[in-house]
Structure 1
Amino acid sequence: MPGRPLIGVSTYLEAGARWGVWELDAALLPAGYPRLVQRAGGLAALLPPDAPEQAAATVARLDGLVIAGGPDVEPVRYGAERHPRTGPPARERDAWELALIEAALTARLPLLGICRGMQLLNVALGGTLVQHLEGHAEVVGVFGGHTVKPVPGTLYAGIAPEETSVPTYHHQSVDRLGEGLVPSAHAEDGTLEAVELPGDHWVLGVQWHPEMGEDVRVMRALVEASVG
Structure 2
Amino acid sequence: MNAHRPLIGVTLDSEQPSADGQPGYSRFPWYAIRQNYMDMIAECGGLPVALAHDPDLATALVARLDGLVVTGGAFDVPPDLYGAMDQHATVQTKPRRTLAETALVHAALARGIPVLGICGGMQLLGVLLGGTLVQHIPDTYPAALPHEQPNPRNQPGHDVAIVAGTRLARLVGQDRLPVNSAHHQAVADAGRGVICATAPDGVVEAIELPDHPFCIGVQWHPEFGISTGDRLLFEGLIDAARQTGT
Q: Same fold (TM over 0.5)?
A: yes
Q: Distance in 2 between matches of 1:204 and 1:26?
A: 28
Contact kept? 2:180, 2:221, Cα under 8 Å: yes
Contact kept? 2:131, 2:188, Cα under 8 Å: yes
Q: Kindly report structure 1 stretches of 4+ aligned residues shifted beyond 3 Å.
A: none
* More helix, by proportion: 2
- Structure 2 counterpart SS, 1:95: helix
Q: Distance in 1 between matches of 2:124 and 2:114?
A: 16
1:193 aligns with 205
Q: Distance in 2 between matches of 1:226 and 1:47?
A: 17
Q: Percent identity?
A: 42
Which letter does structure 2 place at the counterpart of 1:82? Q
* More strand, by proportion: 1
Contact kept? 2:149, 2:180, Cα under 8 Å: no
Residue ranges of structure 1 left out of the alignment (5+ in a row) = none
Does the alignment pair 1:84 with 2:81?
no
Q: Distance in 1 between matches of 2:27 and 2:168?
A: 41
Residue ranges of structure 2 left out of the alignment (5+ in a row) = 19-23, 139-145
TM-score (norm 2): 0.85
- Structure 2 counterpart SS, 1:175: strand
Contact kept? 1:167, 1:213, Cα under 8 Å: no
Contact kept? 1:8, 1:66, Cα under 8 Å: yes
Out of 213, 230, 236, the position equivalent to 1:221 is 236
Contact kept? 2:158, 2:181, Cα under 8 Å: yes
Contact kept? 1:13, 1:48, Cα under 8 Å: no
Q: Distance in 1 between matches of 2:72 and 2:199?
A: 18
Output the aligned Cα RMSD.
1.7
TM-score (norm 1): 0.92
Deviation at 1:138, TM superposition (A): 3.6
The alignment of Structure 1 onto Structure 2 pairs a total of residues equal to 222
- Structure 2 counterpart SS, 1:73: coil
Does the alignment pair 1:150 with 2:151?
no
Contact kept? 2:213, 2:240, Cα under 8 Å: no
1:132 aligns with 136
